[in-house]
Homo-oligomer: A and B are copies of this chain.
Amino acid sequence: VKAVETRRRVTASDVARAAGVSKTTVSYVLNDAPDQSIPEQTRTRVLEAARRLSYSPLSAARALRRGHTDTVLLVLPDWPLSRALSLIIESLTEELERDGLSLVTRKHKPSRPLLDMVREMAPAAVISLSELENSEVADIRKGGTFVAAALLTSPDSLLDTVVVPQALIGAWQVQHLAAQGHRQLTYVALKDPRVSSCRDLRLDGARRACLDLDLDMPTVADIDLTLESAATLVRKWRRSRPRPTGVLAYNDEVAVAVLAGMRSLGLSAPGDFAVIGVDNEPLSQFAVPPLTTIDQRHGVIARHLADIVTYGVAGKTPPQAPRSEALTLIVRESA
Is A176 interfacial (CB-CB < 8 Å)? no
Please, which residue of chain B has its CB at the minimum distance from the CB of A61? Answer: B64
- Inside 8 A of A325's CB, which chain B residues have their CB? none
What's the least CB distance linking A314 to chain B, in Å?
A: 15
Chain B residue at minimal CB-CB distance from A226:
B285
Chain A residues with a Cβ closer than 8 Å to the other chain, count = 58
Closest 10 CB pairs of A and B: A60-B63, A56-B119, A6-B144, A283-B283, A260-B286, A86-B86, A56-B120, A60-B64, A256-B286, A288-B288
A63 partner residues in chain B, CB cutoff 8 A: 60
* Cβ-based interface call for A257 (8 A): yes
Residues in B neighbouring A120, C-beta threshold 8 A: 56-59
Closest to A69 in B: B60
Least CB distance from A70 to B in Å reads 9
Identify 8 new A-B residue pairs, CB closer than 8 A, beyond the known A4-B144, A227-B285, A283-B283.
A54-B119, A58-B119, A60-B60, A86-B90, A93-B105, A253-B282, A281-B283, A286-B287
| A220 proximal to B (CB < 8 A) | no
- Chain B residue nearest in CB terms to A283: B283
Complex Cα–Cα for A281 and B283 (A) = 9
Q: Are B64 and A58 in contact (CB under 8 A)?
A: yes
Interface membership of chain A positions 31-67, coded 1 if the CB is closer than 8 angstroms to chain B and 0 otherwise? 0000000000000000000000010111111011000
CB of A106 within 8 A of CB of B97, answer yes
Which residues of chain B are within 8 angstroms of A243 by Cβ–Cβ distance?
A: none
A212 contacts the other chain (CB 8 A): no
Query: Chain B residues with Cβ under 8 A from A186's Cβ?
Result: none
In the complex, chain B residues whose CB is within 8 Å of the CB of A263:
288
